[in-house]
Amino acid sequence: MSLPRYIKRNRPALWKQIQDEADEVSAALAIRAEATRRDREEEHRRRRIEAAKRQRERQQAKPRKRIASRSASMAAKMKTYNAKRAEFLAARPECFACKQLAAAIHIITLGQKLQMGGFAYSNAVTFANEVTPFRKHAATTIHHLRGRAGKLLLDERHWRGCCIKSHQFIGDNPTVARIAGLLCQPGEWGKQEP
């Protein structure tokens, strides 16, 4: 009986196989990294070209126009308003509000000396002493009883000629202004009367 012959196989050593596989993996990673780097450079170049193109378009475009503070229709309304306002104040040179406020304040101060809806007694006395029904003030501003929105801006039925002091007092003390008939009732502000 004979023994089988030993057949020598030409296989490299295990450590050589591992080294070869590692070289292949590192070569593949290097190729992938190179492709990624090229893609990034291409994207960067494309963005630079687009930015330069946008900048050229901006320089060739029309210059920016400032937004108007008022629309054309509102500017026309204000032109009409200013003309009517001058006529109104020329026809009524005395402050209407001073007389009304002084009368209302005297009624309030005689009736009660308590704080009433944000209006203190000391404010009333001070204002009543400064603005008496006998003292005449020139009307320099227009007070709108119902506001200035929409058609109310040009509605002269709700205009009252005021001096600046009484106009400020009306804004600061709406309760007294309502008693004096210089402000509309709550809920009527900004609404056109038929």
pLDDT of 46-88, one tens digit each? 999 999 988 888 877 777 788 888 889 989 999 999 999 999 9
In a domain, 6, yes or no: no
CA separation for the pair 124, 167 (Å, rounded): 15
In a domain, 47, yes or no: yes
Number of domains forming the structure of the chain:
2
Q: Say which range, 7-11, 22-26, 53-57, 182-186, has the weakest mean pLDDT.
A: 7-11
104 and 140: one domain? yes
Which is more confident, 171 or 135? Answer: 171
pLDDT grade, residue 181 (50/70/90)? confident
pLDDT (0 to 100) of residue 149: 84
Contacts of 157 (CB under 8 A, 6+ apart): 193
122 and 49: one domain? no
Contacts of 14 (CB under 8 A, 6+ apart): none
Core vs surface per residue 114-136: b (16+ CB within 10 A) or e: eebeebeeebbeebbeebeeeee
104 and 44: one domain? no
86 and 46: one domain? no
Helices H / strands E in the chain, number of each:
6, 2
In DSSP terms, 141 is beta-bridged to 162
116 and 160: one domain? yes
In a domain, 49, yes or no: yes
Taking a C-beta distance cutoff of 8 angstroms, is the pair 142, 73 a contact?
no
In a domain, 2, yes or no: no
Helices (H), 61-153: 72-91, 96-111, 121-130
Contacts of 121 (CB under 8 A, 6+ apart): 109, 113, 114, 115
In the listed set 55, 83, 103, which residue is the last one of a domain according to the structure? Answer: 55
30 and 107: one domain? no
27 and 114: one domain? no
In a domain, 67, yes or no: no
Host domain of residue 135: 73-179
**Residue whose pair of structure tokens reads 């402050």 in the numeric block:** 95
37 and 103: one domain? no
169 and 90: one domain? yes
CA separation for the pair 56, 61 (Å, rounded): 9
CA separation for the pair 176, 117 (Å, rounded): 9
80 and 31: one domain? no
87 and 151: one domain? yes
In a domain, 192, yes or no: no
91 and 142: one domain? yes
CA separation for the pair 15, 100 (Å, rounded): 110
Taking a C-beta distance cutoff of 8 angstroms, is the pair 118, 173 a contact?
yes
DSSP-based three-state secondary structure for 15: helix
CA separation for the pair 58, 48 (Å, rounded): 15
In a domain, 79, yes or no: yes
In a domain, 118, yes or no: yes
